[in-house]
Amino acid sequence: MSARAVVPVRVASRSARPRLLGAVAGLAGLVLLSGCASAPSDDGGSATASTHCARMVTNSGGLEDRSFNQSSWAGLQAAEADGVAAQVLVSTSETDLAPNVTQAVESGCGFVLTVGYELAAATQEQAAANPDVDFAIVDETVEGDNVKPILFDTAQASYLAGYLAAGVSKTGAVGTFGGGNQPPVTLFMDGFAQGVEAYNAAHGASVRLIGWDPVARDGSFTGDFEDVNKGKQVAQALIDQGADVIMPVAGQVGEGAASAALDAGGVSVIWVDNDGYDTLPEAYRPILLTSVLKDTEQAVREIAVSTTDDSFTNEPYVGTLENEGVGLAPFHDLESSVPADLAAEVDALRDQIVAGSVTVDSPDAP
């Protein structure tokens, strides 16, 4: 996950947002940095590094975060099939961030992808100084004629997750927590809260939401996105208050919630960003109800390819239910625990959100 820096957005004349399809995949093999290799061009020759070479810079969460670093890298690697030579610089601390962006630019590559709010300032600085390089940044908005923000309206899909959670809860309480009180995190939590409210209104129920107050804009947060033990402690506190479905919005910290749920018994987890059924250890599969998906992989792939054919623009990409940039994963092993009527209601709500007859609002919406 990522927080959002206070960086202004400017949308210039370079437009045309791509239509995205597909599901988030897991981590592919790591390419070591040893110079930027040339990629084959369409005519069978060799493309120049400045045109077809790409560098990605992770945030301080590292590469295998089971979140947006991992899925962004999978997308950039997928673009190799389309002639993009991809390599990654892994940040392991805040001191790595700006130097890694500088190194990515100095590689001579024509496309630099950065991930998360921690890299916003460095991205803006390097983009301004290198107008001939195309930049994109995930889960953040940065100003620049050569910078494309990659954003996701996760509240839409989280609304469906909240409705589902309320519908399957046996205790009448569900919970959520975040890694930090920051817009890309609380956007998930806002949608989840509205979904719970919608279920209560539709069924005359009174399912409680623990861990987030959308009016006060405050709730349960671990304060980071790496410490799994903190995730387990916060999740256990939600379980102690009666929550039997928990949605952690905290990157790899969420694995602590899965551990707490498995230990508690009778508690399920909704993962975020990618399908936790595929990215978490198999031991957690029996407690994974679904996942709120961001198709970062496909977005990154298409944007990376656009830098090779002069179709790249700085118009923000916003993933929605309509363009399949966000969505819900299958129920997998817990499919039998979701009543058919409830699953049908969730499907209908998705169609209504796409049609505009149901609106999911959040002050953090992109």
Give the model confidence (pLDDT) of 285-310 as tens digits: 999 999 999 999 999 999 999 999 98
Token duo for residue 69: 């670093």
Q: What is the pLDDT of residue 29?
A: 36
Total-model pTM = 0.84
Examine the pLDDT at 45 and tell me if it is beyond 90.
no
Q: What is the pLDDT of residue 225?
A: 86
- Name the pairing type of β-strands 212-213 and 218-219: antiparallel
The DSSP result for 251-290, as a single string, is GGGHHHHHHHHHHHSS-EEEEEES-HHHHS-GGGGGGEEE
Examine the pLDDT at 208 and tell me if it is beyond 90.
yes
Lowest mean pLDDT among 64-68, 109-113, 163-167, 347-351: 64-68
Q: What is the pLDDT of residue 65?
A: 80
Question: How far is the C-alpha of 117 from the C-alpha of 119, rounded, in Å?
Answer: 5
Examine the pLDDT at 115 and tell me if it is beyond 70.
yes
pLDDT, tens digit (0-9, with 9 covering 90-100), for 91-113: 988 999 999 999 999 999 999 99
Please answer whether residues 22 and 274 qualify as being in contact, where contact means their C-beta atoms are separated by less than 8 angstroms. no
Q: What is the pLDDT of residue 217?
A: 97
Count CA atoms within 13 Å of residue 349 on its CB side: 26
Examine the pLDDT at 5 and tell me if it is beyond 80.
no
In degrees, rounded to 5, the angle at the alpha carbon of residue 126 between the alpha carbons of residues 110 and 251 is: 90
pLDDT, tens digit (0-9, with 9 covering 90-100), for 11-33: 232 333 232 333 333 333 333 34
Examine the pLDDT at 160 and tell me if it is beyond 60.
yes
Question: How far is the C-alpha of 305 from the C-alpha of 190, rounded, in Å?
Answer: 33
Examine the pLDDT at 144 and tell me if it is beyond 70.
yes
Please answer whether residues 87 and 55 qualify as being in contact, where contact means their C-beta atoms are separated by less than 8 angstroms. yes
Mean pLDDT, rounded, for 308-332: 97
Question: How far is the C-alpha of 348 from the C-alpha of 54, rounded, in Å?
Answer: 40
User: Where do runs of H (alpha helix) occur along the chain?
Assistant: 49-52, 68-78, 97-106, 120-129, 154-168, 183-203, 228-240, 254-264, 276-279, 296-306, 340-355
Please answer whether residues 272 and 249 qualify as being in contact, where contact means their C-beta atoms are separated by less than 8 angstroms. yes
Q: What is the pLDDT of residue 289?
A: 98
Examine the pLDDT at 349 and tell me if it is beyond 60.
yes
* Distances 150 to 67, 94, 319 between C-alpha atoms, Å: 15, 22, 8
Q: What is the pLDDT of residue 1?
A: 45
pLDDT, tens digit (0-9, with 9 covering 90-100), for 212-233: 999 999 999 999 888 999 999 9
Greater confidence (37 vs 148) lies with 148
Greater confidence (139 vs 41) lies with 139
CA dihedral 25, 93, 219, 1 (to 10 degrees): -20
Q: What is the pLDDT of residue 41?
A: 33
